[in-house]
Structure formats: structure tokens, C-alpha cells
Structure 1
Amino acid sequence: MRIDLQLFMICTLFGLVSSARTGGPAKITYNKATLRAAPTDKKRFNVILRGSTVSKRDQVANFASNGESEKLHSTYLIGNNFAGYTATLSADTINLVSNQDEVAYIEEDMDITIHVYQKFAPWGLGRLNKEKNDRELNVYDVDYKVSETGKGVTVYLIDSGIRATHMDFEGRVADQVAFVSSDKSVDERGHGTGVAGVVGGKRTGVAKDATLKSIKVIDNTSGSVSTVLKGIQWVMDDYVNGGKKPSIVNMSVGLESSHSNSMDDSVAAMISSGLQVIVAAGNTGIDACNISPSSVSDSVVVGAISNDSDKYSKFSNMGSCITLSAPGELILRPISSDDVSFIPSSGTSVAAPIVTGLVALYLEKNPTATPAQIKQYLIDTSKAAATSTPKDTTNLIAQYVSI
């Protein structure tokens, strides 16, 4: 088998040349499309290393900085339990790498999706999906009163970017980074801007003085597990370098119907390092335990309810991995095409940031709370009020309680 110089450098870095696996190759997960492709096609893979290899962070950093290999796209060192890299590998190389003791598993990189559900499509389009027209009119008449504003709390939004100039944010978008090729300050999809508004918009948000940081991992043309891993790496570095100030992560992105060990493990590494992660359950009406990252047990996974008698939203994913639910239909949020407009949206993507905002309020008064304490606070203060909940799905609904 021919091994080029760049591959040899990868193998040497992680001890792959001299450390053959004795118990069989590491598990390799392929996309379904790849199984139909020619076996010689080179694909992008996420190679995740065993915990003991985290001590090699210096070698990983040095190799990443020398820029000598176009096959190695990025490396990850998240917390104390997650290390790996993304590289374009041939079938021969994959077999070589999978047989090394240092490798825990290998996954082909997968595209991610944003968990939004379009309630207000033009009625002609919506009518195509219905056997009959049974839409009901929804009316809003509510008050919102809280004692905290999220001041001093950082919210990391791993999403599609934020239109920071929108009037709803009032200059509180502190950082914007991008791990896709498009401009970090542009939100082509409008998703991240809406999510950020629900968390911390002055007019539409729960935590109206929280500091917002935008980590762009998806745009109109790209977004994958590896871009999420890069985003998580940036979040962890920023959190640690900033002195681990009170912070919370919102992930209203993920895989639509697939599972990724590398995404789940990196999210779990964030949580074990002190950052709780609020995850949108997804909008395909399936078991949330079967997709990533809502299958991460220590995260807070949020389903959606409607404004009709607290009914569990039909589109919302369900099952035992749901921690609690929050309003997720007809939620007003800012748009990314101008600085003054708002529209209503539905989906677990807008339910999750409501809970993220509640956590920001809680952290303002409890800045040293651990991820476990944050999750327990949300459970203890929620109300068992959801109706029409699917089998094995909690009926807890997020509730504001000042503690």
C-alpha cells in the first residue's frame, strides 16, 4: 500500500505507523450515498481518538499550525475527553487508520440542518400538504414579567450567523466567527438571527441584556458535522480564555435524521468542561434519541408546544430524551434581511432559545451554577402541563421562576 508523505505525517503524529490495533478495526460510519459510490473515492472523515490521546494536544497544535497537508482540514481538542481531526481520506487510508489503537471511531462527515418549521408558507404551498383545510386562528394576549435580564451572561449561538445591526440586539452581539466560507456578519438563512432574537432580543427575547456570540457553522451552501466541531472548539477556547464566566450554549442545529458520535461526544465534552448546552429536539416527529445532538444525555433537549391548550407540537421530535418543552409555534423573532422587521416562526429552533434565555436569567443570579445544577433548575421549576404528549415524552413545560 502506497502512503504519501502527508499521510505519513498524519500517521506519525498520532502514532499510527507503529501502534497496530489488536482487537479489530475501529468502527467506521459512512453516509448512505458513499456506500453507493466507488470505493476509491476520497471522502471527508472525522477521526476521533481515544481519551488517552488528549495528552498529545501539543503535537496536534504543532501539526495544525505548519499547514503542510491539504488532507488534514482541522483538529479538535475539546475539554479533557475529546480529541480528533477531520481529513480527506481514501479507502486504503481509512483501513490503515481504523486499525490503530489510538483511534476510537471514524465517521464520514455529514451535512447538518437547522430545526425550523415554516408555519406561514404561502397558503397555496401549505394547502399542498393537507387533505382538508382545518387551520384555526391564533390570538396573542400575554404579559411578560421577570426580575433578571441576563446581564453579565454570555450566550454562545452555534447557528447560521446573526445580523448584528438589527435593532433588536442594541449592540450586544460581542463576537462573530464563521467556519463556513461565507461572511461571518451575514446570516443568509435568517435562522441564527431569529434564534438570537428569541434568546436576547430587546423586543422579542427572554434575556434582554445577555451578551450574544455568533458561531456560524452553516449557510446556504454548506454546513456539516466538521463545521460544528470547529465551532465547538472555538466556543471552548473562548470560554476558557475568558475566565469561564457564566455562559450557556444554544444549538438549534443538528442532524435531521442521523446520529453522529463525534457531534455527541464533542457536545458532551463541552458540558463536562462546565458549559451546559440547550439543544433543539428537531422537527420531523421522530424519537429525539435517534439524532444528534439531542441524544446527548447530559444536555437539555427542548421540544415544542403550541398556544392551543399547551398541546405538544405535531412536528416536534419526542421520546425519553426530551428534557422539557417550551413555546414553539408562532414565535415572533427578528429577520436578517433588514434592521427593523420581525416575523413569526415555528419549530423547536425557537423553543430551545426560550429555555436558553431562562438559563441566562438564572445564571445572572447564580453565576457559578454547574451544568447539572442548570438542568435540575429547569426540571424543578417546570410545570407538568403539556397536553397530547406522545408516548414516553415528558409533559414538563419551561417556567420562569427566580431563584
Structure 2
Amino acid sequence: MSVDVMIEAVLPSDMKNRRYTAFEHLFYGYTTQQFIHLFIDYRSAVQLANKDYPYSLVSEPGAMGNHIIVRLKGSLTDEDSMRHVEEVHRLAVQRPGMRGVGQTWSMGNFKGYQVQIAAEDLECVPTAYMIDYVEEDTVVTFDWQNRSYVTTRHGTTWNLDRISHRESRASSGEYKCYHTGGQGVKIYVLDSGIKMDHEEFKYRARWGANFVEGSPDTDKKGHGSHCAAIAAGKTYGVANRAKIIAVKVMGPEPGREDRSIDVTTRKRLPEKHSHETMVTALISGINWAYGDAGCTRDRSVITMSLSLHYDKAINEAVAAATKGGMTICVSAGNHRTNRVTKSPASARSAITVGAPDFHDRIVWCSNYGPGVDIFAPGVAILSAGIEHDSQIMEKNGTSMAAPHVAGIAACYIERYKISGPAVKDMIIATATRDRIINPKGSPNRIAYNNSGF
């Protein structure tokens, strides 16, 4: 719609019979008060007519057509945001096959929603000027190497030894930590869920939320339970007194074979059910954790061991949650690249974690470079399985590295009474330095729990 047409709509009938410039329209026959009101309408019309809405979407791999993520302007009030969402929903449900607005999000100045609608239809909404940008919903994947083996071995845990000693002691299996173990701190595990009755979690874990449509409130993959027990498991966890909250944002990945094998029988474990996981679920998980933490955000940690292409909305959701006081730890990714260009690993306020092996060498699959904040063990990590309540499994990847740092963050928050950016600063300041043999341009830091050994 042109500016002239929009101005014509606010003019009295006697002025519509001849052509005026917009400037003449404003002055002709109006009192001062009428002029002021008309000027406001004119200014809004110009802004709306000249607005460059970002409706030319780039389809990333895994994108689902007509599943749209909308980021609203941060300056909007809650009332304005709700009015816009209601308008979009009314329009969307009138379109054949469209389900309308799904999840909505609000974290400080981060406001947005997910909707099933053609992107160009958003231009028909009167409050379209409230939109900051839009993007297509896409698939999120785990940051782990899909080579997991079941074991009944309850021996040494070299990874816990490594983060509690300055020197590498791969064969020692001695974990030094303060006895309080992150007590009173919440760790939100945004992943495939948690096996709540596992011995590693009893009495300290609770089910939070499930954003994977059609998926049960449990862990059918094993990834989330494994990560949760690394962060805060009774035996295999860094912060073994922290509270654990399951936020399911991932199901078993579609189109991928599960390679978990029982090392005793050498039989492949039963195939898991498949569920697609989208950006919407991840943002919804962050938003839910932010709301659930409430006044305890400064004593709350989020750990996410997953990734997708660079996504502005996810990174801004991370920024909003950390600005609100939460600490967020994310895996660097398993793409063997020296650039951390994925999300949420590229979110600046998060703690991005790469993975070294027993000998302090960067794991072959781990991302590296200046975008990685710190390294933590990511090879042959023992932690909780899901086949029974005492199963222990071994997994690899940067997925396993991130929850180590989440556990350290919980311990630091509890022990030193710090919060917000100070947690990331302290984790970096206390890290073991110059031990990575092949840093490849990365900051040469290995996570350390400041045990004094």
C-alpha cells in the first residue's frame, strides 16, 4: 500500500475530490489539534509503507515450510505482543491446513512465537510492524558421536579426575571436590529427557516440561540421561548435590540408526522411536526454564548438548536468559571445524565447550578455534543409561563435555555466591592453562573445579 493511498484513508470527504501532496493534505483546513493527530497518523503511515519486512526467508537444511518463528520487537509491551499474536492466530486458522500460533515466548526483551502460516501472509496483519524478523523452523541435532556401548563397569572415571587436578592423571580415577556439590542450585537439562528413576538421579530430579510433540515424558534416546548424570549424577556427576530438571526438547533423531550395543551379548539395542525436533522446541525449552527458575535464575544453570546451523532467534533467546541471570553451557559441536558457526554454540553469552581426550589432545570430532571458551573431557565418558535404573553407558563427543562445565558452574554458584557473567568469568579464570597439546588456535584452557589439587 502506498503512502498516498494510506493518507487518503484518513482525509475528510471534501479533500478527496482533488489531488494534494501529502504536505498540503496535512495543512488544509485543520486546527492545530487536528493537525497534530493527523501528523501522527501520517508518520505511522510512512513508517509502515517504507518498512522492509524480512519475509524473504532462507531455507536451511531441515527447514519445514510454513512453520515460522517470529521474533517481535523487544520494546513491545506484553499487551501489544498479545494483541499481535491474537491477530496472527485468527488469520492463520482461516488458511487451509494451517494450525495457527503454537508456542509463545517472553524473556525480558526477547518476545516471539511459532506459527504455522505462509510468511507472506504476515503482511496482512494490521500489527505487522511489530515484527523484528522471521525465520523458518528447522531441525536440531545432538552433538555426540553415535558410538555408545553398554557396560556394567563401575571403575575409574578419568573425566572427573581430570577436571579436579591440574595435571592429567588418566589412570588415577580420583575426583577431588567440595562436599557441598552445588547444593541448592538448579541444572536444567535441555535434551532428550531424563530417566527419572535411575539411581544417579533419585530424589534430586524432577520432570519439568516436554516440547516434543507425541513423545512420552521420559528419555527414549539415552542422550539426556547421560548428560544429566555427567552434570549432577550421584556417582558420575560433577555437582552431585545439585537439583536436576528435565526439559525435553529432543527426541531420537529421524533417519539415524541407533548404534548402542550391549558389550556382553554384542546385540544391538532395540531401535528407538523417531521424533523430529525443531528450533521451536529449543526456544520453548529455554523460555520455560527461564520462567520456572523465576527469582532463582541467578542460581540456575542450563546445559544444552545440541546444535544446528546459525540461528539468530536461538542465540537471542540464550542472550535473554543469561541477561536475566542464568548461566548457559553449550557444546561446541562435532564438525571438526575451526569456526564455531552453529547455534547455540555461537551465542556469545553462553559458555561454549570443546572436548579433549585422555592425553589432553582435542578430540578428532570436536570443533575448535577462538569461538570455543573452554575444553572438558569428551571421550569414553561413563554415565547413566536408560535400559534399567542402574545402567551405565560410555559415550563420546562435545555433548559429554558441556555438562562437565555445567556441573562446575553449579558448584561455583553455590560455593562462591556468584551469578550471571561472573560465573563464566570465574570458570575461564580458574581453568587449567596450556595443557592442550594441539590447541589449533583455541584458547588453551581445560575446565577445573578449583579443588586445589
- Shorter-chain-normalised TM-score: which range? 0.7 to 0.9
Which residue of 2 is the match for residue 189 of structure 1?
A: 221
The 1:97/1:349 distance shift into structure 2, 3 A limit, reads farther
Q: Match for 2:285: what amino acid? A: G
CA distance in 2, matches of 1:61, 1:94: 10
CA distance in 2, matches of 1:290, 1:99: 33
Contact kept, 8 Å, 2:336 with 2:367, in 1: the verdict is yes
2:340 match: secondary structure: helix
CA distance in 2, matches of 1:364, 1:164: 24
The 1:252/1:206 distance shift into structure 2, 3 A limit, reads same
Which residue of 2 is the match for residue 201 of structure 1?
A: 233
Pairwise CA distance, 1:92: 3.2
Provide, for residues 222-279 of structure 1, a one-character-per-residue CA deviation record: whole Å limited to 9, x for no partner.
2110011111111111111x54461111011221xx1110111001100001001001
CA distance in 2, matches of 1:42, 1:351: 34
Pairwise CA distance, 1:96: 5.0
Pairing 1:251–2:304 present: yes
2:355 match: secondary structure: strand
2:413 match: secondary structure: helix
Pairwise CA distance, 1:338: 1.3
Which residue of 2 is the match for residue 353 of structure 1?
A: 403
Which residue of 1 is the match for residue 281 of structure 2?
A: 227
Pairing 1:77–2:101 present: no
Q: Match for 2:405: what amino acid? A: V
CA distance in 2, matches of 1:335, 1:81: 39
Identify which of 29, 48, 70 aligns with 2:57.
Answer: 29
Which residue of 2 is the match for residue 143 of structure 1?
A: 174
CA distance in 1, matches of 2:121, 2:171: 58
The 1:264/1:60 distance shift into structure 2, 3 A limit, reads farther
Q: Match for 1:202: what amino acid? A: K
CA distance in 2, matches of 1:105, 1:60: 17
Contact kept, 8 Å, 1:276 with 1:374, in 2: the verdict is yes
Identify which of 141, 149, 155 aligns with 2:187.
Answer: 155
The 1:93/1:34 distance shift into structure 2, 3 A limit, reads farther
Which residue of 2 is the match for residue 133 of structure 1?
A: none
Q: TM-score, normalised by structure 2?
A: 0.73
Pairing 1:401–2:429 present: no
Identify which of 377, 380, 386 aligns with 1:327.
Answer: 377
Q: Match for 2:447: what amino acid? A: A
Identity of matched residues, %: 27
Which residue of 2 is the match for residue 113 of structure 1?
A: 141
Contact kept, 8 Å, 1:276 with 1:299, in 2: the verdict is yes
Contact kept, 8 Å, 1:164 with 1:171, in 2: the verdict is no
Mapping for residues 245-324 of structure 1, pairs under 5 Å: 246-255=299-308, 258-307=309-358, 309-324=359-374
Unaligned residue ranges in structure 2 (runs of 5+): 2-43, 94-98, 151-168, 253-274
The 1:176/1:184 distance shift into structure 2, 3 A limit, reads farther
- Superposition RMSD on alpha carbons, in Å? 3.0
Higher mean Cα deviation, 150-159 or 87-96? 87-96
CA distance in 2, matches of 1:223, 1:93: 25
Provide, for residues 86-125 of structure 1, a one-character-per-residue CA deviation record: whole Å limited to 9, x for no partner.
1112253155579943222111001101111134579xxx
CA distance in 1, matches of 2:83, 2:408: 38
Identify which of 373, 383, 386 aligns with 2:432.
Answer: 383
Contact kept, 8 Å, 1:161 with 1:193, in 2: the verdict is yes
The 1:165/1:90 distance shift into structure 2, 3 A limit, reads same
CA distance in 1, matches of 2:173, 2:45: 64
Contact kept, 8 Å, 2:298 with 2:325, in 1: the verdict is no
Q: Match for 1:195: what amino acid? A: C
Identify which of 245, 248, 273 aligns with 1:213.
Answer: 245
Q: TM-score, normalised by structure 1?
A: 0.82
Pairwise CA distance, 1:53: 1.8
Q: Match for 1:305: what amino acid? A: P
The 1:162/1:61 distance shift into structure 2, 3 A limit, reads farther
1:174 match: secondary structure: strand
The 1:94/1:100 distance shift into structure 2, 3 A limit, reads closer
Q: Match for 2:282: what amino acid? A: V
1:213 match: secondary structure: strand
1:51 match: secondary structure: coil
Q: Match for 2:438: what amino acid? A: S
The 1:42/1:361 distance shift into structure 2, 3 A limit, reads closer
Contact kept, 8 Å, 2:65 with 2:136, in 1: the verdict is no
Pairwise CA distance, 1:19: 6.8
CA distance in 2, matches of 1:362, 1:297: 20
Contact kept, 8 Å, 2:85 with 2:101, in 1: the verdict is no
Pairwise CA distance, 1:175: 3.0
1:293 match: secondary structure: coil
Contact kept, 8 Å, 2:62 with 2:138, in 1: the verdict is no
Contact kept, 8 Å, 2:55 with 2:119, in 1: the verdict is no
CA distance in 2, matches of 1:61, 1:102: 8
Pairwise CA distance, 1:28: 4.1
Greater Rg over alpha carbons, structure = 2
Q: Match for 1:252: what amino acid? A: S
The 1:269/1:355 distance shift into structure 2, 3 A limit, reads same
Q: Match for 1:71: what amino acid? A: G
Pairwise CA distance, 1:360: 1.0
Mapping for residues 159-170 of structure 1, pairs under 5 Å: 159-170=191-202
